[in-house]
Amino acid sequence: MHQGVLKAVVEALERGEEAALVTIVAARGSTPQRVGAKMLVFADGRILGTIGGGCYENDAFWKARDALRTRRPQLVHYELTDDFAEESGLACGGQMDVFIEPLEPAARLYIVGAGHVGQQLARFAHAVGFRIHVIDDREKFANRERFPDADAIAVDAIPDWLAGTEFPATSYVVVVTRGHRHDLDAIRVLLQRDLRYLGLIGSRAKVKRIVDALLAEGLSPETFERIHAPIGFDIGAVTPEEIAISIVAELIAAKYGKLDEPHVAAASKRWQKLDRIARAAALPPLATVD
């Protein structure tokens, strides 16, 4: 069974699917499973393997689901002599320690736009372990010479490529195209996808134009809570390299579930509420912007 669970771990990671591995790491006295017993819990609730069944396995299941949400491991202690064990008929008289470890595939970063910021973003993100995918409609920019570390480079109409691509739920997508219209076309498609992170480069003024255009198309205001915009931590970045570093810092925070922590959120220009955008100065409609 251990081999089956471990094989499933490898296959899940190759598919880009996250899961939590639950392992008995210590056992004392009489327990229904030995040290090393494993259970794999997928994000959609599927289970493979067992750590003995009963209420404590059910409790470990829900803690594994929580670990997938927070992306933080847990060490849990179970007493098999208490009322908790009595409920399942597993009052064996022993004790167990269970380690719950969220497993994630190598983070895939899709960079929509192969300009100066996109090039530097690929460079720094690759250095910290992201797998890089680049999409642009200009072969002059989206090529192996400019993106030597990319896993994949696509030259295609941006909205068409995005619409035809399957993104794992663990994907990170950053929109850094050369213009407002291309940003709008990309965001329109990406808001329909289940993504780990969706970021949009630009000032609040630019973001407001895009939001206004999509609201006029009928998208609900709540939809935009998923966007991180303006993207990146507010470090006063000016050059493409500095901007890329500010974005990568935010991607790392998102990867480790840190963006919601107060001290991180305060340092980030993460999108919080639409009323902040609504207070921005009135601007001409997107259609008038070059």
Q: What is the DSSP string of 188-250?
A: HHHTTS--SEEEE-S-HHHHHHHHHHHHHTT--GGGGGGEE-S-SB-S---SHHHHHHHHHHH
How high is the pLDDT of residue 131? Answer: 95
Per-residue model confidence (pLDDT) at position 281: 38
Query: Given this model, what pLDDT does residue 288 score?
Result: 32
Residue 152 and residue 88 share a domain: no
Q: Is residue 96 a contact partner of residue 26, using CB atoms and an 8 Å limit? A: yes
One domain, residues 118 and 249: yes
Q: Judge contact between 54 and 117, C-beta under 8 A.
A: no
124 and 255 co-located in one domain: yes
- The residue among 79, 103, 127 that closes a domain is 103
What is residue 279's predicted lDDT score, i.e. its pLDDT?
Answer: 41
Same structural domain for residues 78 and 189? no
User: What is the residue range of 128's domain?
Assistant: 108-288
The 3-class secondary structure across 47-96, one letter per residue, is: EEECCCCHHHHHHHHHHHHHHHHHCCCEEEEEECCCHHHHCCCCCCCCEE
Q: What angle do CA 247, 105, 163 make, to 5 degrees?
A: 70
Domain count, the chain: 2
177 in the Ramachandran plot: left (φ > 0), alpha (ψ -120 to 50) or beta?
Answer: beta
pLDDT in single tens digits along all 290 residues of the chain: 567 898 999 998 888 788 999 999 998 887 778 899 999 999 899 999 999 877 788 899 999 999 998 888 999 998 876 555 555 555 555 788 999 999 988 889 999 999 999 999 999 999 999 999 999 999 999 999 999 999 999 999 999 999 999 998 889 999 999 988 899 999 999 998 989 999 999 888 888 888 888 888 888 888 788 889 888 998 889 999 999 999 999 999 998 878 765 444 444 444 444 444 444 434 444 433 32
- The CA–CA distances, whole Å, from 151 to 21, 46, 185 equal 27, 30, 24
Please check whether residues 144 and 215 belong to one and the same domain: yes
Q: Which tokens hold the place of 204?
A: 């609040």
Residue 169 and residue 236 in one domain: yes
Residue among 44, 52, 50 at smallest CA distance from 15: 44
Residues 159 and 267 in one domain: yes
Minimal CA–CA distance to 28: which of 76, 73, 99, 78? Answer: 78
CATH number at residue 146: 3.40.50.720
| Per-residue model confidence (pLDDT) at position 176 | 95
| Residue 94 shares a structural domain with residue 115 | no
pLDDT attached to residue 123:
97
The pTM assigned to this predicted structure is 0.73
pLDDT at 219: 83
Indicate whether 136 and 257 sit together in one domain.
yes
pLDDT value of position 173? 97
Does residue 95 sit in the same domain as residue 46? yes
Tokens standing for 236? 């006063």
> Which of 53, 78, 103 is the last residue in one of the domains?
103
Whether residues 135 and 239 share a domain: the answer is yes
Residue 77 sits in the same domain as residue 40: yes
